[in-house]
Structure formats: structure tokens, C-alpha cells
Amino acid sequence: MPNKPWRKVWHPEEADYIKRIDLYKPGPKYPLVAASQGLSGWAVTEYDILPDGSVANITLVSESDGDIFGAPSIEATKQFIYFPRITDSKSLGVKAVRNRFTYRL
């Protein structure tokens, strides 16, 4: 029998050590006002990952000057989907996850 390279296949049941895996994490839409003025900036959102992988309790933690980048960052965060954390074959949520969005032209 020929030797085959060993390759471990990851299985969700073995995910005790994994906090989160992104399944769908779209970027935000660049605000038209910021794009037309050549502005760059950032925003940080915080949210909880629910046991089904969706997100909830989204808040804007901080953003760069001028309330331009917060709203599109929150809208993008609403669309995030994660592979939930699994411990002892149970799907668990993760609290207080933060994501920083950087806007550059």
C-alpha cells in the first residue's frame, strides 16, 4: 500500500478550542459622503454571537471623527454569520466580540 501524506480532517465536534469561525462576514458599504470628500476612517462594533451563528446586541463602540462610518459598520455587522463555538457537542454563543472596520480610498 503506498504511503499517503497524513491529513487531519477538521470536524465540528473537535472545536472546543475555537472561539469563532467566520462563515460570512461582508465588508461595509463606503459612505457616499465620505467617498465624495475623499475621507478615510474607522469604526468598531461589538456584538454577541448566538448559538445558531447569527449576531445580536450590536453596538457601536467607537469611530473616527464625524459620525460617518458607524451606520454602515453596524449594517455590515448585522449580516455576519459564524460557525458557532461547540463544547461537549453543544453549540454555545460568544459574548462581546469586537470588529474594527477600516475605510480607505
Q: Render pLDDT for 21-39 as a digit per residue (tens, 0 to 9).
A: 788 999 999 999 999 999 9
How confident is the model over 60-96, as pLDDT tens digits?
999 997 789 999 999 999 999 998 777 777 888 889 9
How confident is residue 19, by pLDDT bands cut at 50, 70 and 90? low
3-class DSSP string for 73-89: HHHHHHCCEEECEEECC
How confident is residue 20, by pLDDT bands cut at 50, 70 and 90? low
**Domain 19-103 fold:** TolA/TonB C-terminal domain (3.30.2420)
Residue linked to cell 478550542? 17
At 15 the pLDDT is 47
Kindly tell me the burial class for residue 56, based on how many C-beta atoms sit within 10 Å of its own C-beta (0-12, 13-18, 19 or more): exposed
For residues 89 and 13, the answer to whether their CB atoms sit within 8 Å is yes
- From residue 21, give the alpha-carbon distance in Å to each of 30, 31, 57, 71: 25, 28, 19, 24
For the chain, what's the residue count? 105
Report domain extents, the chain.
19-103
At 47 the pLDDT is 96
Q: What is the pTM of this model?
A: 0.78
Pairing of strands 81-83, 21-24: antiparallel
